[in-house]
Structure formats: structure tokens, C-alpha cells
Amino acid sequence: MSAVFWEKEVETLCREKLEALQLQRLRATIDQALKTPFYKKRLSQAGVLSGNDIASFGDVRKIPYTTKDDLRQGFPYGFLAVNTDDVIRLHTSSGTTGTPTAVYHTRDDIARWANLCARSLAATGASQRDVFQNMMTYGLFTGGLGLHYGAELLGMMVIPSGSGNTPRQLQLMRHFRTTAVHATPSYLLHLFGEIEKEGLTLSDLCLTKAYVGAEPHSEGIRRKIESLFGIDVYNSYGLSEMNGPGVAFECIAKECMHVWEDSYYAEIVDPGTLEALGPGREGELVLTALTRQATPILRYRTRDLTVIEEGQCACGRTHRRIARIKGRSDDMIIVNGVNIFPSQIEAVLMRVPEVGTNYQIYLDKQASLDRLTVKTEVAPEAFTGEFVALEKLRNHLKHLLKSEILVNPVVELHEPGALPVSTGKAVRVVDQRNEAYCG
Ligand code: AMP
Ligand code: ZN
């Protein structure tokens, strides 16, 4: 296997040097974090007053974890370590208008992030000869702009098509002979269906590879996309709290994702006890960004379940790898790449007096895409059985839900008492999308 490197020296640094670099950067990050109102308080409570308090990796446990709730509570500027004049961009986590978390970037932050994305793409053999069509959403979501900047840095010809509008995506792919695409796995399956519907064949396209991420998918789904399109598919993992894409990426070996350890310190912990788990043991991924200026984040609980793989990768990179994400340790659901908490849906429903107390969130697939259905009972006093009144309520709920969760739901209204009531803990989410995590 002949691997292509973007920065061979860093990517193949021996473990000893890589860990020394991590430790040095971790100390600098703590000093940077101490400039933020949040960490100034949190770290001093924990007795960490300077980066020098971390003498070895054993001391990392002195650093408290950071959670999404912390980020929400610190909104908008509690995690900002630089003057706002030095910030050139901000991003937020996908989904949700109600409870934002913001991550700010300086010019250097953006440059380093783009570099990690270029490194990731190069690890799959991509080069300036590629035409890259970015079918991820552009905007506050990091999937669009993140890989866009990396692909430009690598020298690919970038088509910033954004998500949706499948006929136009296909037109662009044919006109400009797109060789690489970036999309959610469910969108690629949908795209394939449309290719068939339009009577096109694979020989009308020049596609050789796809980058998929933003949502969980199985090895089976990867293989399916590979065989349908006759291409190589690479898994891309990231989260907005840690920049976005470019945190961990598959290389040409396609066996797990290299975490770029010069820029991230990765730990696996038991989500219940928060005890550190060694290599080969599955748990929650905890990440520390090691080079960020504007928003340094320490020991962030990603809630993503995975395992750090032991052993060397055939490509020659020394950065350790994580396995495909197995699931989440919280109840967040991801619908076509957008993160949603069931509590957001509940909050919307409970604001509407005509809605009863029992509801269910139902997930399935339609034409390869995720479909979210909110089934809810109508309150007895509001249930007249009149079609016009019910239609009005249904549209009202659809509108309220869309503006909260940013996904268009199907809304089903049921008579009072019609939905199943569980005797134990209510089962609010029924996920029939099958394959998401298995295999
Ligand atoms: P966001 O902050 O909006 O970019 O969402 C990040 C979350 O999306 C992660 O914490 C994961 O739960 C999920 N995610 C991103 N990439 C992947 C991937 N390749 N496989 C599985 N889940 C992913
Ligand atoms: Zn590799």
C-alpha cells in the first residue's frame, strides 16, 4: 500500500515525540483556557492554576470534564479566550435554535482546521486532480465550510453545491466531471435512487470516492454505497465543539479513523463511572483540542461511543485510530445529519394547549432518507373530530417543530388515549431505521 502524506513528518512522528508534543500543547491549551471566564473558575476550583500543573498524562485526570450543558451555560462568551476583534468566524452545533453552543475561530484556528481537513483528504489519496462536490449543508453547520477550506488548500477544484436539489447535483456532477463527493451516507443512497430514476448510468459519472459523515452508519452501509457507485467510501468524524470535520478520518486502508493526535488528545471513559478505559475497550470518547486559540475546550464529553484500536495502521501513520461510532451515551438522535434531542420536541408539544400528554417520536426511512414522524394525541377538550380544526393544528405543530429542530417532521394527530402507554419508563423514541449502528 503506498500512502500519500500531506505532512509526512507529523503524520508519522514516533509515539514518544507525538506524546511529548501533545503534553506540551496540552499545557499551552490550559494556559489559554485560563483566559476564559468559564475555565478560570472551573480550573481553579479543581486546583489547576497553570499548564505546568500537568506534569504527565497521569495528571490529566485533574482537569474536569466539559459537557454540552457547560457550553450552553457559558453561551455566548464564557468560553472565549481572545478579544472579539481577533475572531473571524463562529459556528454552532447542528440543529436546534433553542439552546445554542458557539465555537469561535481566529484566523490561525481556521488555517489549522483547514490544514487538518487537507491532511484528511490527502490520506485518502485525494489530490489537486480531483473535482470535489461538497453536498453538505453550508452555514453554521461545520460540514460544509470545514471540508471546503481543506479541499481548496489541497488544491482540489471545489464545487460548493451544498445539500439538497438532487437534479442540480447530478447536473453539476456530469458537467464538471466530479470525482469526489462529501455527503451524509443516507443522502448518497438517495442520490443513487435518483440516478436510476433519471435513466443515468454510472458511466455518465466520473465519481471515484465519497466522504461520508455527520451521522452514524454501519460498515454494511459503506459497502452498499461502494458497490452501488463502484467507488471508495471513507468515514469522516468530527463535531463542531472540536472544529467539525478533520478530527478523525479514514485513510486508504479504510480500517478505522486516525485521530489527528498532534491536534486532539483522545480518551475513552466509562460513560457511567467516568473511569478511564484502556485501548481496546469501548466507551465514550473524550476530546481535548490542543491548538485552539479562540475557544479552547478541555476534556469534552462527546457522548459518542467508540473504541481506540490497538496496533499499527498499514498506511504508516502513527496517530491512533478510533472505530466507527457505535452509538451515543445520551438520547440525542441524528436525522439526516441534524442533531435533535427528544426534549426539544417535547418542549414544543407541551407549549400547545390543544396537544394531549402522550406522544411518540417515530423514525424510519423513505427513499433512503431519514423520516421523522411526531405522533401526538390531541387533548380531550380540543378534540372535536372536525377535519379543518385538526388540519390547522397539524400545520401549526409542523411549523413550530420545524423552526425548533430544523427538520421537517411528519405530524400525526391521534384521538385522546389512542397511543400506546407503557407501564414502565415511557418509550418516546421508536427507531426503525435499522442498520444505523450495527455491523
Ligand atoms: P455537529 O456538532 O453538529 O457536527 O454533530 C456532531 C455529532 O455528529 C458527533 O458528536 C456524532 O454524534 C455525529 N457524527 C459526526 N460524524 C460522524 C460519523 N462519521 N459517524 C457517526 N456519527 C458522526
Ligand atoms: Zn492509516
Q: Give the domain ranges of the chain.
A: 1-330, 333-431
Taking CA atoms only, the protein residue closest to ligand 1 atom 4 is: 239
Ligand having the closest approach to the CA of 287: 1
Neighbours of 129 (CB within 10 A): 9
Which residues have a Cβ under 8 Å from the Cβ of 247 and sit 6 or more positions away? 116, 237, 238, 239, 259, 260, 264, 287
The candidate with the shortest Cα–Cα distance to 178, out of 198, 160, 199, is 160
Which phi and psi angles does 284 have, rounded to 5°? -90, 135
258 CA → ligand 2 middle, Å: 6
- Give the Cα separation of 235 and 194 in Å (integer): 23
For ligand 1, say whether the CB of 337 is within 6 Å of any of its atoms: no
For ligand 1, say whether the CB of 235 is within 6 Å of any of its atoms: yes
Taking CA atoms only, the protein residue closest to ligand 1 atom 1 is: 239
pLDDT at 43: 98
For 21-43, letters b (16+ CB in 10 Å) and e give bbbebbbebbebbbebebbeebb
The candidate with the shortest Cα–Cα distance to 209, out of 127, 303, 292, is 127
Order across the sheet with 180-183: list the strands: 157-159, 131-134, 180-183, 209-213, 232-237, 248-250, 257-259, 321-322, 308-309
pLDDT at 95: 59
Taking CA atoms only, the protein residue closest to ligand 1 atom 7 is: 239
The DSSP bridge pattern shows strands 264-269 and 283-289 to be antiparallel
Ligand having the closest approach to the CA of 314: 2
Taking CA atoms only, the protein residue closest to ligand 1 atom 10 is: 239
For ligand 1, say whether the CB of 38 is within 6 Å of any of its atoms: no
The pick from 90, 237, 297 for probing ligand 1's pocket by mutation, whose C-beta has the most ligand atoms within 8 angstroms, reads 237
pLDDT at 350: 86
The pick from 215, 295, 307, 328 for probing ligand 1's pocket by mutation, whose C-beta has the most ligand atoms within 8 angstroms, reads 215
pLDDT at 424: 62
* pLDDT tens for the 439 residues of the chain, in order: 678 899 999 999 999 999 999 999 999 999 999 999 999 999 999 999 999 999 999 999 999 999 999 999 999 999 999 999 999 999 987 655 566 789 999 999 999 999 999 999 999 999 999 999 999 999 999 999 999 999 999 999 999 999 999 999 999 999 999 999 999 998 999 999 999 999 999 999 999 999 999 988 889 989 999 999 999 999 999 999 999 999 999 999 999 999 999 999 999 999 999 999 988 999 999 999 999 999 999 999 999 999 999 899 999 999 999 999 998 999 899 999 898 988 889 889 989 999 987 899 999 999 889 999 999 999 999 998 899 999 999 999 999 999 999 999 999 999 998 998 765 666 789 999 976 544 4
182 CA → ligand 1 middle, Å: 14
Give me the count of residues in the chain.
439
- Give the Cα separation of 170 and 191 in Å (integer): 8
Tell whether omega for the bond before 76 is within 30 degrees of 0, i.e. cis.
Answer: yes
CATH superfamily to which 1-330 belongs: ANL, N-terminal domain (3.40.50.12780)
For ligand 1, say whether the CB of 93 is within 6 Å of any of its atoms: yes
375 secondary structure, DSSP code: E
For ligand 1, say whether the CB of 233 is within 6 Å of any of its atoms: no
CATH code assigned to 333-431 = 3.30.300.30
Taking CA atoms only, the protein residue closest to ligand 1 atom 6 is: 239
Locate the ligand 1 atom nearest the alpha carbon of residue 304 and give its number: 12
Radius of gyration (C-alpha) of the chain in whole angstroms: 23
For ligand 1, say whether the CB of 376 is within 6 Å of any of its atoms: no
The candidate with the shortest Cα–Cα distance to 196, out of 368, 57, 363, 386, is 368
Identify the sign of the CA torsion 43, 46, 48, 49.
positive
The pick from 136, 187, 225, 325 for probing ligand 1's pocket by mutation, whose C-beta has the most ligand atoms within 8 angstroms, reads 325
110 CA → ligand 2 middle, Å: 25
The candidate with the shortest Cα–Cα distance to 143, out of 244, 250, 249, 264, is 244
For ligand 1, say whether the CB of 213 is within 6 Å of any of its atoms: yes
User: At 120, which amino acid appears?
Assistant: S
The DSSP bridge pattern shows strands 209-213 and 180-183 to be parallel
232 CA → ligand 1 middle, Å: 20
- Give the Cα separation of 283 and 274 in Å (integer): 9
